[in-house]
Structure 1
């Protein structure tokens, strides 16, 4: 198994679209990239802890590649809005790929460059961060599989 970690706005929607992929064995909502140890949602939601809402994806690279996961990441959020996805605003909703190794870093940077070159977003800049993975703090239990538990549709817009 391999791991990938993505931030693309509210983690409920991010988790939902990755859970739909064959080869994804497990997802976990959590927090990464901040300055507080063991943050709680009440701290993260203020935007002052420095954490992003992220989803850690455990996947079988024999069934789904990291590049395929990147394609899903790009298609399900707007990578041109700094610290915002739809009505969710703040650094906790930033667009970010936390890479786990050199290959993931190269693939994420290459995919970002190709997306910029494609003109899909016009003259708008892709603001997605590509940064090394750091400590993952699982979100509270009620955030895990939130949309499924509450029988809600995805809260993300498909941009694919």
Structure 2
């Protein structure tokens, strides 16, 4: 199986999660960071698509939303996985996940994951540092990346068949 993992990483956390996930998936797996590469993807050559993003100021990156809009019809016909990196937990993280991905894509996903997150203050601009300090009180790098969730997502994705349309 050929799997495409499409993600957008602002400070490197989502990229780190995507790489950890790639190492645990069966078959050939290819990564595309939408922050670095254009949206010109031949999605039809892949059997499965995993989409991952992160939350910044309450929303997933615009490039993730644009990718899903552009390839929606192709995505929902494939084996789909969705993951989100965010610092929130529990109900708030679930709400952020639901806002990040359209219902039509969430409904066909065979694996969904919330992988925790990181505040990499050392890579943030001045405004981002002020916001993170105000929201979380932190002025230093903090990692809450959940490798157990990544492992669980990979196991689930590897063992489940494609979404059935019947």
Decide: shared fold, TM above 0.5: no
Which has the larger Rg?
2
TM-score, length-scaled by structure 2: 0.32
**Structure with greater contact order relative to length (CA < 8 Å, sep ≥ 6):** 1
